[in-house]
Structure formats: structure tokens, C-alpha cells
Structure 1
Amino acid sequence: MPTTTYTARPIDPRALKELRTTDDAGRPTTHFTDPEGGAPLRCCLRRSEPGERIALVSYAPLRRWAAETGAAPGAYDEQGPVFIHAEECGGPAGTALPFTNAHRTVRRYSAEGHILGGELVWTPDAVDQTCTEAFEQALAEAFDDPAVALVHVRAVEYGCFLYEVRRDQRDAR
């Protein structure tokens, strides 16, 4: 049985360029030096290091995806806080699914941008599979539904967007 590798997509570099000036709520971006590190950066899909210059901005991932695809998410268009580097960075260093070491939600969306459901992924007491295996399984189950066009991986505690995974074009049904 062939395996599919799902790719976490950071925020697009064009969107990052805009967000570093004005966020999706229309507010000017304020940069700061991260004193402690640990902020989940959506530009390079890793945690910040102490002393890095970052920004906390409002981001509307579904709105930006809809602008690319012509979808009309209507009331499902939402924006929320994300951390990004204050200046351009090199993007993700690898292909591993990031931020899998805590409770996450995989939220499914249709081609129209409507929510089709969600699933809680991984709990700290899970011992039957690794975090990555749990995420791979949740993504496979999401994309087994031909109506699912993309998924958002979100933090459970705050609901914050972490990254998106899109249906592989070779897998489109």
C-alpha cells in the first residue's frame, strides 16, 4: 500500500511580506525581540529562539486561500493571532510535520471554504503510535473524503492556526 506524505505549508512568502507591514485586521505590525523563545513561527514552522525579532499578527488563512482559489468561505472566514519573523527568513528547514507534541485539531474544509468537520489529534498519554503517525493518520482520514480540499492544523488551547495541508494535486478526486 503506497504511503502519502503530507506537507505542512507555512504562510506564503507574499503574504508574509504584507503581514510584516500590516496584518489581516488592518493594523500596523509591531516587531519585538522575543526574550524567552518558544513562539510557534508560521513562516518557518519552528519555535523561536530567545533574542529573535518576531511579530504577533492577525492572519486570515482561509481568506487568503479563497483569494487564490475563488472559494467563498462566507462566515467561515476568520482571522487570528500568529507569530512570524520580523524579517524574511529561509522558511522550513525540513519536511517533518511541525508542532505535533501537543493536542491539535485537524479542521477540514471543502473547496468552497466551508468547514466539514474536525478531529482532535494526539494526546500525551497515547502510547500506541508516535505523534507523527497520529497526524499522518488524521490527515489520511481527512483526505479520504473527496469533499475535503484542505485542512488546518490548529492549537486546541487557543484555536490558533498553525499550518495548512492541501490535497495533493495527484490525489485530487
Structure 2
Amino acid sequence: MAMTFVALPTEVVRAYQQGAHDANGQVPERAVSEGGGNPCRHCLRMIAEGAGMLILAHRPFPAPQPYAEVGPIFLCAEPCARGGGEAVPEMLASPEYIVRGYGPDDRIIYGTGAVVPTEAISARAEAHLADPRVAYVHVRSARNNCYQLRVDRAQDAFGESILIRKKREAR
């Protein structure tokens, strides 16, 4: 199945970089990266040692609701290019992560969450996205449950899910 690793939208990140309030109503904190442990959720790379970074509370869901977790994330303090694509991003450098499916209502699909080795993220996400109940997948820190990125079904040039198109064509 074709899938894509998705970074936070550029317009959301630029707003934070310009001082917009985070999910807790606070201005993002500015800090200097010590290197190695500060993954930017926009460029999907580690923030280099000595580079400016933002620390803020983010809710990667469209609206508050019981399953809409809020948690800390890091972003490059200066504008960076949006990352993403079919390859597992380099920022996923820990030995394991939580991989969990969510429905179109942005609620957890029970039974999809598991801690998996980093090298198994793609296979686990692909298995979740093959389930018609799952709209998208989150990859989260295995130690602290921090949001890392989203995984979606790949879209064709017309914005249609490749998986949905293949199922329709098979009929």
C-alpha cells in the first residue's frame, strides 16, 4: 500500500514561529537545541545542536474532544522546509515508537495502538491503513506519548486515496 509520512502543515508552523499561541494558550518557548533529541515536526529532522527551537503544546486534531491529546513538541525556531514522503523520516531515531490508528471522527481505533521497533513502523502503519475503519495513523514517542507525525494513505494526482481507487477499480 502506498502511504506517506506527513509533517505539520507549514501555515500552522509559521504561525507558531511568529508567536501564535499553542494549544494551552501560551506563546511557544524559545530554546537552543542540545542536538540529537529534538525532532522538528515540520522538517522531520533533528534540530541541530546550537540551533534555535520552539517548545510548545500542540493538539494534532482539528478540535478539542476526549481523544484529542495535547502534548509537547519541538519545532525549528527559524523557517524550515516541510518534510514528509514515503520514506521513514530521519527524525525517528529512537529504538521504538507507538503506532496507533484513528478513525474519521479523530478518535482512537481500539486495538490499533502498539509499541513497535522503528524498523517496523512502515509495516505497522500499512497494516492499520488497510483497515477501512482507520482514517490515519499517528506515530508517537514510546516513552512519553509525544506526537511525532501522521501517516496517511498516499493520494493520487486528483487527491483520491490510492487504496480507495485500487479497491474501486478491482470491482
The TM-score normalised by the length of structure 1 is 0.80
What is the correspondence of 1:81-100 to structure 2 with a 5 Å cutoff? Answer: 81-92=72-83, 95-98=86-89, 99=92
What residue in structure 1 maps to residue 99 of structure 2? 106
For the residue of structure 1 that corresponds to 2:72, the secondary structure is: strand
Q: Is the CA contact (8 Å cut-off) linking 2:139 and 2:148 kept in structure 1?
A: yes
Distance (Å, rounded) in 2 between the aligned partners of 1:93 and 1:85: 15
Partner residue, 1:33: 32
> Could you tell me the percent identity over the aligned residues?
29
Cα offset for 1:136? Answer: 1.9
Unaligned runs of 5+ residues in structure 2 are 155-160
Change (3 A) 1:97 1:76: same
Per-residue displacement from partner, 1:80-120 (whole Å, max 9, x unpaired)?
Answer: 00000112111228752120542111110000111003122
Q: Matches of residues 3-18 of structure 1 in structure 2 within 5 Å?
A: 4-18=1-15
Aligned to 2:50: 51
Dislocated runs of 4+, deviation >6 Å: none
Structure 1 residues 161, 144: CA separation in 2 closer, same or farther (over 3 Å shift)? same
Asked if structure 1 preserves the Cα contact closer than 8 Å seen for 2:40 and 2:46, the reply is: yes
Superposed CA RMSD in Å reads 2.0
Alignment-derived partner of residue 71 in structure 2: 80
Number of residue-to-residue matches in the alignment: 153
Change (3 A) 1:112 1:118: same
